[in-house]
Amino acid sequence: MPYLFEPAAPASLPVAGRDALFPVHRVYCVARNYAAHAREMGGDPDREPPAFFMKPADAVVPGGDVPYPPATANLHHEVELVAAIGRGGRDIPVAAALDHVFGYAVGLDLTRRDLQATARAAGGPWDMAKGFDRSAPCGTVVPAADIGHPARGAIRLAINGTVRQDGDLRDLIWSVAETVAQLSTLVELQPGDLLFTGTPEGVGPVVAGDVLDGHIDGVGDLRVVIR
């Protein structure tokens, strides 16, 4: 049966060393997964289990120009290690979780912080603080077959050449394997899912004209220009 109108093309990301693209299915994000950032945001890293939220698949863009979104005066940057799921499953054991990860990328979880604060204060959902257009810039997916599964190494973000976030992957409260396993108890993971694994401390505002350079040792780089 034909569609009423032409469906949108699926979101996708380039893959290092491959001609094929990585098709994006769903985008999951982990909140407060670095201890210093959890404290920075008023949380308690010693007692909070992984908390997940989602972004639309078409919020993913491969870096480049990103327009400053409407309805906010306080857009924040959050650099993150992104795990790209290549094999689905549910109730995945921690010991087998990394077998489901195809590769990794550098990502940015852009956040309308003022909308998020207002929603939290009202006890309401904050989807529009996280899931707006182009809110998930993401770099090239690098296969785990080529780089392994990074568990340590620098993760940083510079704004106009000045480092704002400077952490280490070893400081994740919940490892990639633990996070994948936990998420799979809540939903059935599918090939093409992306998992943004959390951001280190130092999040802050960006404005139009800012150049954001994200880097993760062994994974790569991501440049975004806010327009």
Q: What is the pLDDT of residues 133-189, one digit of tens each?
A: 999 999 999 999 999 999 999 999 999 999 999 999 999 999 999 999 999 999 999
In the chain, what's the furthest Cα-to-Cα distance?
A: 54
138-168 exposure pattern, b = at least 16 Cβ within 10 A, e = fewer: bbbbbbbeeeebbeeeebbbbbeeeebbebe
Domains belonging to the chain, first-starting first, are 12-226 (3.90.850.10)
Residue 34 pLDDT exceeds 60? yes
Using an 8 Å Cβ cutoff, are 197 and 30 in contact?
yes
Query: How many other CB atoms are found less than 10 A from the CB of residue 74?
Result: 15
Sign of the C-alpha dihedral computed for residues 65, 69, 75 and 80 taken in this order: negative
Q: What is the pLDDT of residues 84-118, one digit of tens each?
A: 999 999 999 999 999 999 999 999 999 999 999 99
Rounded distance between C-alpha atoms, residue 29 and residue 180, angstroms: 11
Residue 47 pLDDT exceeds 60? no
Using an 8 Å Cβ cutoff, are 60 and 80 in contact?
no
The rounded Cα 182 to chain-centroid distance in angstroms is 17
Rounded distance between C-alpha atoms, residue 82 and residue 149, angstroms: 11
The pTM of this model reads: 0.95
